[in-house]
Amino acid sequence: MTKTVISPWEVEGDIDYKKLIKQFGTTPISDFINNKLKDCHPLLRRGIYFSHRDFDKWLKAHSEGKKVSVITGRGPSEKMHIGHLVPFLVAKSLQDNFGCDVYIPISDDEKFFVKKNLSFEEALKYSEDNILDLIALGFDPKKTFIFQDFVYTDIYKYAARIAKRITYSTAKAAFGLTPGKNIGWSFYPAMQAAHILFPQFHSRKHISVVPVAIDQDPFIRLTRDIATHKDFNLEKPAALHAQFVPSLHGGSKMSSSGEGLIFLSDDAKTVKKKINKYAFSGGQATIEEHRKKGGNTKVDIPFQYLKMLFEPSDEKLEEIKQEYESGKMLTGELKAILIEKINDFLKDHQKNKIEAKKNLDKFILKN
Amino acid sequence: MTKTVISPWEVEGDIDYKKLIKQFGTTPISDFINNKLKDCHPLLRRGIYFSHRDFDKWLKAHSEGKKVSVITGRGPSEKMHIGHLVPFLVAKSLQDNFGCDVYIPISDDEKFFVKKNLSFEEALKYSEDNILDLIALGFDPKKTFIFQDFVYTDIYKYAARIAKRITYSTAKAAFGLTPGKNIGWSFYPAMQAAHILFPQFHSRKHISVVPVAIDQDPFIRLTRDIATHKDFNLEKPAALHAQFVPSLHGGSKMSSSGEGLIFLSDDAKTVKKKINKYAFSGGQATIEEHRKKGGNTKVDIPFQYLKMLFEPSDEKLEEIKQEYESGKMLTGELKAILIEKINDFLKDHQKNKIEAKKNLDKFILKN
């Protein structure tokens, strides 16, 4: 990989993502929406969420004083890394800015069905651990509902009602089922739709928005169809579609395996090592060349991480951009900024996670 | 239908049922078992349960002081008729004679998935009604556990663990799934296996017996395979296989629709009318002929109902048999005996059902 490679999630991405909007039949984020999100998390105001369904309706409903909510889930099959946080940071930001409820389904059943070697006990263990990571983000306990399929088993009642309206053929098409896959997997599409509609089952009919990666849109569409079935008579859920979060290596989607992951449990030394060793740089090959040509922020992972997640100040980000592109700031200096930001975040996060244990009961829905 | 027709559940049945034992690879009821069941309900001691799997082991375990139990379920999609009682009368008799626990899953989810026009609310309504009918049979509240899938939703946790071990192909073969059927239906085989293994999940590893019609044996076999999987390490459930209960018309299986059904809610006048009008008789065409040739008890529905369900005394049954076969007893007289027996039973049952409401909580498992 050389500096001339343009990563798919940035320059090429600009093109691909437009294509994806066309392909999936979704709507680009409008100025109206951008304006409403101008005080939100960088993920929402810097173009990472680039497409939507009915999010304008969500905003309008909110401005009319109607109830709105956010729903975003977690499939717990491992300890969480930074990439996993993306939809939850969005949910928290929407809660902070619009005062709305946030629903977080924990699909331990899905992971159990899909991961061959994941035991039932492990699925429960990861749920417990991941839930603490989510609470540590600072959600409002009065407005946040975390429900785990193997704990809040009443979700089965809702999933069953939906399951009656999804044929195996339909589920097969949307979820790529094959006859050799287990029947838990066959049923899961109903459970997922139940998660997405749960805010309305739990409260009342209203628009709930789902922040998802664009490739998840077919499931949203399936659920939107179900919502308006006469059995349910609910609002179609809205969606906010994200680009893929790059891995440290610069790949287009932060994968769950490999070395390019920063776990929420990593210590400062580990983070420093990982960023320095693995974070794909848009800098030049030598200091001399870098001083002359400057770095490419479009492909530089440390810069992208600052932009997406770790530098909330637009002014500071712009300053870093100019210094890096002009060659004034070196790759090592840029990485040092990110390392410090991440370690500050993780230090707080790890402390908050210990605190979270005390508040668990305030967040967890029980049968 | 004339008197020369031999119904499949009796004479021809003697042959068919032997064939079925061979076909399903089950074991005929032995003298050892018959001897152990000699004080049980007529259904158990008069050959209606004609085949089994491991029921000898169940009896041996009980005689060694080990825990044993019975599990038999109800799919609530309508009000109950007399034919529905068969496995529950067996369960109660085993409880009375062996002091064992009885588990009764109420598969409202199955009926909801399978019956196109059954609403979720109706499924719950029939569950409530059917459960009262079951409690009215006189089960011991300390030893009887009724659990309804849409109420005791924790069953989903067990079903999920089993679902992981059943592929869609396997479920399809055993349950005749097609791609046009809904995904609740696809999942249900796991739920059913969870019901059958539930006594062991709820208590501890032990032999539980399932009274079923012989055509249900493939599901038992599937569950026996799952029981010994290393994830579960449970005892294989035993089975007791029944012949099909004849409808009043003399058909081989008491169907859920049509006029030949005596509902547990029928009043005395209705019962009298139904038996007199619909109960297929083994009597002769005229009184003169009947006095001369006698009736055929093998095909006579009133006699079969007395034998299976309503005449506990072997002496009295033998007396009736001799009088009817000799022509001394007429069809109308035989029917009158049955009508009185059924109406006595239903009168008590309907009273017990009202009482049952008070005791509901003692029987129902909750999350």
CB B246 within 8 A of CB B6: no
Structural domains present in chain B: 5-244 (3.40.50.620), 268-354 (1.10.240.10)
Please give chain B's pLDDT, 367 residues, in tens.
Answer: 222 223 333 434 444 788 889 888 999 999 999 999 999 999 999 999 999 999 999 999 999 999 999 999 999 989 999 999 999 999 999 999 999 999 999 999 999 999 999 999 999 999 999 999 999 999 999 999 999 999 999 999 999 999 999 999 999 988 889 999 999 999 999 999 999 999 999 999 999 999 998 888 989 999 999 999 999 999 999 999 998 777 788 765 554 455 779 999 999 999 999 999 999 999 999 999 999 999 999 999 999 999 999 999 999 999 999 999 999 999 999 999 999 999 999 999 999 999 999 999 999 999 9
Report ipTM for this prediction.
0.91
Distance of alpha carbon B316 from its chain centroid, rounded?
A: 24
The pLDDT of residue B257 is 53
Q: How far is CA B310 from the centre of its chain?
A: 15
How many other CB atoms are there within 10 angstroms of residue B65's CB atom?
6
**How near does any CA of chain B get to the CA of A265, in Å?**
29
Please answer whether residues A210 and A94 qualify as being in contact, where contact means their C-beta atoms are separated by less than 8 angstroms.
no
pTM given for the model:
0.92
CB-CB: which of A155, A165, A167 is closest to B179? Answer: A167
Q: Is A221 exposed, middle or buried (0-12, 13-18, 19+ CB in 10 A)?
A: middle
**Which of A106, A120, A183, A188 has the most B C-beta neighbours within 10 Å, making it the best mutation to test the interface with B?**
A183
Instruction: Tell me if A214 sits within 8 A of A185, measured CB to CB.
Output: no
- Contacting residues of B for A120, CB less than 8 Å apart: 160-161, 231
The whole-number pLDDT of residue B251 equals 65
Tell me how far apart the alpha carbons of residues A284 and A292 are, in angstroms, rounded to a whole number.
9
**Residue B314 and residue B228: Cα distance in Å, rounded?**
41
Cα–Cα distance for residue pair B183/A172, rounded to 1 Å? 10
Q: Residue B213, Cα to own-chain centre: how many angstroms?
A: 7
Residues of B whose CB is below 8 A from A153: 153-157, 367
Contacts of B90 (CB under 8 A, 6+ apart): B40, B41, B43, B44, B49, B70, B72, B211, B240, B242
What 3-state DSSP class applies to B68? strand
Residue with tokens 């870093």: A320
Nearest to A80 by CA among A281, A310, A261: A261
Residue B206 C-alpha, separation from nearest chain A C-alpha, in angstroms:
22
One-letter amino acid at A293 equals K
The torsion angles phi and psi of A209, rounded to 5 degrees, stand at -110, 140
At residue B175, the pLDDT reads 86
For residue A230, give the chain B residue with the closest CA. Answer: B119
pLDDT in tens, chain A (367 residues): 222 223 333 434 444 788 889 888 999 999 999 999 999 999 999 999 999 999 999 999 999 999 999 999 999 989 999 999 999 999 999 999 999 999 999 999 999 999 999 999 999 999 999 999 999 999 999 999 999 999 999 999 999 999 999 999 999 988 889 999 999 999 999 999 999 999 999 999 999 999 998 888 989 999 999 999 999 999 999 999 998 777 788 765 554 455 779 999 999 999 999 999 999 999 999 999 999 999 999 999 999 999 999 999 999 999 999 999 999 999 999 999 999 999 999 999 999 999 999 999 999 999 9
Instruction: Give how far B217 is from chain A: nearest CA, Å.
Output: 20
Comparing CB atoms, the residue among B109, B155, B164 nearest residue A112 is B164
Q: Do A168 and B184 touch (CB under 8 A)?
A: no
Residue A2 has a pLDDT of: 27
Closest partner residue to A168 among B153, B157, B179, by Cβ?
B179
Instruction: State whether A183 and B168 contact (CB < 8 Å).
Output: yes
Which chain B residues touch A187 with a CB distance below 8 Å?
163, 183-184, 186-187
Q: What is the DSSP string of A151-207?
A: TSTTHHHHHHHHHTT-BHHHHHHHHT--TTSBHHHHHHHHHHHHHHHHHHHHS-S-E
Grouping H, G, I as helix, E, B as strand and the rest as coil, residue B56 is helix
Contact with chain A for residue B154, Cβ under 8 A: yes
Under an 8 A CB cutoff, do B179 and A186 touch?
no
Q: A239-255 burial, b if ≥16 CB within 10 A, otherwise e? A: bbbbbbbbbbbbbbebe
Does A189 sit within 8 Å of B160, measured CB to CB? no
Specify the length of chain B in residues: 367
B126: closest CA of chain A, how far (Å)? 16
Q: Does A123 touch chain B (CB under 8 A)?
A: no
* Rounded Cα distance, B360 and B144, in Å: 11
Contacts of B153 in chain A (CB under 8 A): 153-157, 367
Residues of A in contact with B190 (CB under 8 A): 183-184
Residue B263: phi, psi to the nearest 5?
Answer: -80, 150
Residues 6+ positions from B312 with CB-CB distance below 8 Å: B41, B42
Alpha helical stretches, state H, chain B: 11-24, 31-36, 42-45, 55-63, 86-98, 108-114, 120-135, 155-163, 168-175, 183-202, 217-227, 268-278, 287-293, 301-305, 314-326, 331-363
Instruction: Choose, out of B175, B183, B185, B187, the residue to mutate when testing the contact with A (most A CBs < 10 Å).
Output: B183
Q: Which of residues 310-349 of B touch A (CB under 8 A)?
A: none
Task: Give the closest residue to B34 by CA, choosing from B20, B53, B50.
Answer: B50
- Alpha-carbon distance of A146 to A135, in angstroms, equals 9
Give Cα B183 distance to the centre of its chain. Answer: 27
Burial of A97 from C-beta contacts in 10 A (0-12 / 13-18 / 19+): middle
The answer to whether B187 contacts A150, with C-beta atoms less than 8 Å apart, is no
Q: At what angle are helices B183-202 and B155-163 packed, to 10 degrees?
A: 110
Do the chains contact at B190 and A169, CB–CB below 8 Å? no
CA-based nearest distance B322→chain A, Å: 54
Quick: pLDDT tens for B21-57. 988 899 999 999 999 999 999 999 999 999 999 999 9
Instruction: State which residue of chain B sits closest to A110, comparing Cα positions.
Output: B160
Does residue A120 sit at the B interface (CB-CB below 8 Å)?
yes
DSSP calls for A12-48: HHHHHHHHHHHHHT-EEPPHHHHHHTTTS-HHHHTTS
Task: Name the residue in chain A with its Cα closest to that of B117.
Answer: A164
Tokens of B99: 């002091």
CB atoms within 10 A of CB A213: 14
- Cβ contact A168–B161 (<8 Å): no
Q: Which candidate, B72, B107, B108, places its Cα nearest to that of B88?
A: B72
Chain A touched by B187 (CB under 8 Å): yes
Token look-up 């592929």 returns B167
Give the gap in angstroms from C-alpha A230 to the nearest C-alpha of chain B: 12
Distance (Å, rounded) from C-alpha A201 to C-alpha B304? 51
For residue A76, give both structure tokens.
């717990």
Decide if A233 touches B, using CB distance below 8 A: no
B181 touches chain A (CB under 8 A): yes
Distances (CA, A) of B144 to B19, B253, B352: 35, 28, 16
Give the closest-approach CA distance of A124 to chain B in angstroms: 11
Decide if B184 and A172 are in contact by the 8 Å CB cutoff.
no
A169 CB neighbours in chain B (<8 A) are 179-180
Q: Report chain A's terminal Cα–Cα distance, integer Å.
A: 52
Residue B115 one-letter amino acid:
K
Query: In chain A, what are the helix, strand and coil shares in percent, each to the nearest 5?
Result: 55, 10, 35
Using alpha carbons, select from A320, A332, A352, A282 the residue that is nearest to residue A4.
A282
User: What pLDDT is stored for residue A257 in this prediction?
Assistant: 53
Q: What are phi and psi of B210, to 5 degrees?
A: -115, 115
Task: Mark which residues 207-226 of A lie under 8 Å from B by CB.
Answer: none
Q: What pLDDT was estimated at residue B2?
A: 27
A156 closest CB neighbour out of B153, B164, B183: B153
Instruction: Decide: helix, strand or coil at residue A240.
Output: strand
The CA distance from B284 to B121, in Å, is 48
What is the distance in angstroms between the Cα of B157 and the nearest Cα belonging to chain A?
A: 6
Q: Which residue from A155, A141, A79, A64 is spatially nearest to A111, judged by alpha carbons?
A: A79
Measured between alpha carbons, how far apart are the two ends of chain B, in Å? Answer: 51
- Judged by phi (left if over 0) then psi (alpha if -120 to 50, else beta), residue A94 lies in alpha
B23 CB within 8 Å of a chain A CB: no
Distance from A68 to chain B by nearest Cα, in Å? 27
